[in-house]
Chains A and B, each alone.
Chain A
């Protein structure tokens, strides 16, 4: 083996990946950090304004509402998706035909475009023709009929069920494969000791997949920061910014008013917030592991 030839191969082989990845993933992040200090409309001169964009974000009540909505999404995902997926995984972890069918059904939304998911739920929630209000009518619960997506108070909570519904399948499959990986000796030992049912679940099965649950929680946190599409399709951040997320806030303030400098500052803020969130959750997970 020729060492020089080896080196040249390493360079050529890595070059396309490094160039493409740096140009379209890294450079944008660095650029937005840079443009965040400018007042710029996309054409013409950009003028340096220091931290003014960030000061404006800090004072903007819409930013705080967006951040709050993002946190609602994170909490709803962690406390909605994970428990539902765990319960379903415990009930559906066998490889019988019925279990496989139900797992596939729960997973199905994962392979569909969020556009379609958002539009289906828009129809479910529609105040006049929506099947949810129609169902409530039929059940004689007329007073429960609401303007699900156009009432600013409840709109953000109406977005939670579609969010949970579309991702439960992912965590279900993750948990099912963890459950199936529990060695059968453990089940045998439990049986010999006469441990079964709920007690076995709580004191044997769940502790065995604790690490997987932790990984799922971290995934859940970073995943729920990505829910731009669903909100954009269903409410566009409205009514009156009630369902604005950080990403829609960035989109709306950049592309409706052509403030690229301001939008770049928001996008840098999003990167910082998500790194902080993911960092904290990883740190919490590792600290807990050390304590045990």
Chain B
């Protein structure tokens, strides 16, 4: 196919006036791209360079590089913002809900994909319809529920709802993947005498690694970046997650811009680093999670 494409002769429009028009069109495209590229990246660039500035520098030369690179903005921000404990909280909550989501969703999807039973279709619909429920509409009733279960201000107040809201997409993605695995796998493993749990843990889980990676990306990022649940369910300073801690820090140190921006920069380093390492997978995973078929 590739050779056919390259061998084909350029069309009749390739000469004379056509090529001028095309060249003009191309330069307009490049102009649009460059402008959009700058617009997209500039806010990040600005965030990082401003994080090194003193307040005077911040006022007087908002576009320039810092006059003196103030590295100690970062250590001050770290010391005065409780970012350390916020990092720990975010890691606990995100990993906790991730592990729970992976296990529960994979098990349910295994059953929905590989077994025949009467209310299977209804069960699948029951999970998938959850993707339509706007998360924010559940803030008030969830708050009441958590209060009655005395879960407010615990890690569970975040881990459980993050898991519950990750389930619809996770089950959708995993069930679709597991359904595509050929039937022979089960037959072979039953002949070998593997039980159902063995089939799940030793064969199905390893086989669905690509789908599990998608679910990992979606569920981890959702938990790591969530603001609204943490805002409503967590009041204790020691339990605040990263987004909440950053928002509070900005309120408290409003006029110390360099310090606030340094705290913001520190908070995005983990996700940006992960993104730089796994960008193709992350883009694919997040779009797969969004499109859901």
Contacts and interface: CB of A to CB of B under 8 A. Distances in A.
B160 A119 contact: no
Contacts of A113: 224-227, 242-243, 246, 267-268, 271
Interface string A213-242: 001000100110110110011000000000
Nearest to B138: A28
B140 A247 contact: no
Contacts of A55: none
Contacts, number: 272
Given A17-B105, A116-B268, A24 B165 contact: yes
Contact of A264 (B36, B107, B141): B141
A229 B104 contact: no
Given A17-B107, A188-B8, A229-B228, A28 B37 contact: no
Given A17-B127, A115-B243, A271 B227 contact: no
A254 B147 CA distance: 14
Interface in B261-286: 261, 264, 267-268, 271-272, 274-275, 279, 282-284, 286
Contact of A119 (B108, B126, B250): B250
Q: How large is the interface on A (under 10, 10 to 19, 20 to 34, 35 or more residues)?
A: 35 or more
B237 interface: no
A197 B135 contact: no
B228 A232 contact: yes
B171 A17 contact: yes
B66 interface: no
Interface in B1-54: 1-2, 4-5, 8, 11-13, 22, 25, 29, 32-33, 36-37, 39-41, 43-44, 46-47, 50
A223 to B, nearest CB: 8
A92 interface: yes
Contact of B164 (A5, A25, A135, A260): A25
Interface string B85-110: 00000000000000000001101101
Nearest to B61: A134
8 contacts: A24-B160, A102-B33, A108-B272, A174-B291, A188-B8, A194-B11, A196-B13, A250-B136
Interface of A: 1, 5-7, 9-10, 13-14, 16-18, 20-21, 23-29, 31-32, 35, 42, 84, 87-88, 91-92, 102-116, 119-121, 123-124, 129, 131, 134-135, 165, 169-170, 173-174, 177, 184-185, 187-188, 191-192, 194-198, 215, 219, 222-223, 225-226, 228-229, 232-233, 247, 250-251, 254-255, 260, 263-264, 266-268, 270-271, 274-275, 278
**4 closest Cβ pairs, A-B complex:** A24-B164, A28-B141, A17-B108, A113-B225
